[in-house]
Amino acid sequence: MTSFTNFTNIQSIYERGNKNNKMIESMSGYGTYSEVSENQSIDVEIRSLNSKYIDISINIINPLKILELELRNLIKDSLKRGSIYLYVSIKSVKSFVKPILNKELFWQYLKILSEIQKESDILDDIKIEHILACDNIIVYEQENKLDDELREFIIMGVKHAVLNLKEMREKEGVKIKRYLDEQIKNLSLINSKIRQKADGQIKNIFNKIKKRLDLLISEIEDERIMQEVAIFAQKSDITEEVDRIDSHIAQFNEIAEKEYPCGKKLDFLTQELLREFNTIASKAEDIEIKKLVINAKTNVNEIKEQIQNIV
């Protein structure tokens, strides 16, 4: 058997990581692994970059390509998303090719050598070295079978490299999460200020309409003014948008804390946040609210940019 170190430990960590991972994880990462046993050695390199979906490229020698589907599923289950490149180099005492006698060619060459003997009156016997000197007498075929020991050696090597890559992605994910927490907190504060401004917007609308009407009519009934204010306020009401923003922020925090993968959902929420702030900007009359919306949209775009980096 191979002397591959910590087989059981690698498998248990790998399965536990896939099952319990609830943290934000970067899509960018790099992992390697090397192992030498008495029968074989392996070098594995895996790296991942940002991608909207999961795109896997595997570089492995032909005799081992029968493992490609298994390796592809292994990567897909563990890494979920990203443009991923896997390279596996294996050296084994077991040959991946076997020599085979090309019998048809052998008899053709033997016949030709016999004819040469007769035509030239050469008395020497036809010897084995004469046959071996002919091209393609022996051909080499690749082995299609992969024994369990070598398969386990390769699978565990790749799993170890994937764990190293995930560790790097998780460390980067911690930094991204910290940044997102700060930005989403700022966004919540901005929305609170918008809510406060929105509460005083009706009074401002009342005064604005009354002032306009005062210029046109000397005596105006407050009831008429209130009717005008009510109509205008209805068009300018941003309460629902502000409430939805608070709801989106709460949902954003919950997803970021509890779900994996979460990048696509968070990206969708940032689009919804931008849509609500755009609606507020189109409805609000208060210049301070418009300024706050500009800050909020800048904030959301910074969040959105970071989300493109996570699984």
Do the Cβ atoms of 188 and 242 come closer than 8 Å? no
The per-residue pLDDT of the chain, averaged, comes to 84
Residue whose pair of structure tokens reads 């004469």 in the numeric block: 130
What's the pLDDT at 184? 97
139 φψ region: left (φ > 0), alpha (ψ -120 to 50), beta (else): beta
* Residue 137, number of CB atoms within 10 A of its CB: 16
Q: How far apart are CA 165 and CA 268, in angstroms?
A: 27
Q: Is the pLDDT of residue 156 over 70?
A: yes
Q: Is the pLDDT of residue 106 over 90?
A: no
Do the Cβ atoms of 303 and 183 come closer than 8 Å? yes
Q: Is the pLDDT of residue 193 over 60?
A: yes
Q: Which of residues 131 and 225 earns the better pLDDT score?
A: 131
Residues 157-175 pLDDT 10s: 999 999 999 999 999 999 9
Q: Which residues of 183-203 are buried (b: 16+ CB within 10 A; e: fewer)?
A: bbeebbebbeebbebbeebee
Percent with pLDDT over 70 in the chain: 78
Q: How far apart are CA 16 and CA 242, in angstroms?
A: 41
- Which residues does 31 contact at the CB level (< 8 Å), separation at least 6? 44, 45, 46, 47, 161, 162, 163, 164, 165, 166, 167, 168
What's the pLDDT at 2? 40
Per-residue pLDDT, averaged over 254-266, amounts to: 93
Residue whose pair of structure tokens reads 């979920």 in the numeric block: 80
Q: Is the pLDDT of residue 70 over 90?
A: yes
Tell me the C-alpha to C-alpha distance, in Å, between residue 23 and each of 52, 185, 298. Answer: 19, 19, 25
CA 53 to chain centre: 6
Mapped onto helix, strand or coil, the DSSP state of residue 270 is helix
pTM: 0.73
Nearest CA to 276 out of 307, 305, 239, 250 is that of: 239
